Amino acid sequence: MPEYRTVTCILCPNACQLDVHFDKDKKEITKLENARCTRGMKYAMEEIFNPKRSVMTVVPIESKLWKVTSVLTVEPVPKDKIFEVYNEIKKMRLKAPVKRGDVLIHNVCNLGVDVIITRSVKE
């Protein structure tokens, strides 16, 4: 059954408001309007049929200077798995020192994506 949705493409500075007509059962876009560059179709396909987001948050750390440090997924994760990823990250407690880029969780929720520390904390 044909469906319609408007999405904002974020792949280039144009930020096109894409009008997307699609068939969810066939997983195909039947009509795409308002794309000012060729990347719009790729973005619309991903956003309609397999939306993903990066997960960024903070984790408690034992440190003289900081109470938390920031972490993020190295790749976007499926949108429907975000809360599972957050719940895994929420279980973590760190102790200084940690370095930016250190892996906090390898292969979080078996998604093939690591969670890394984004701020070094020396003490």
**17-52: pLDDT as tens digits:** 999 999 989 999 999 999 999 899 999 999 999 999
Strand residue runs (E) in the chain = 2-8, 17-23, 28-33, 52-53, 56-62, 68-73, 77-78, 94-95, 103-105, 115-117
The structural domains of the chain, with segments of one domain joined by +, span 2-50, 56-117
Which architecture, in CATH terms, is 56-117?
Roll (3.10)
Binned at pLDDT 50, 70 and 90, residue 2 comes out as confident
pTM of the model: 0.83
**89-116: pLDDT as tens digits:** 999 999 999 999 999 999 999 999 999 9
Which of the pair, 119 or 38, is modelled with greater confidence?
119
Is residue 1's pLDDT more than 80? no
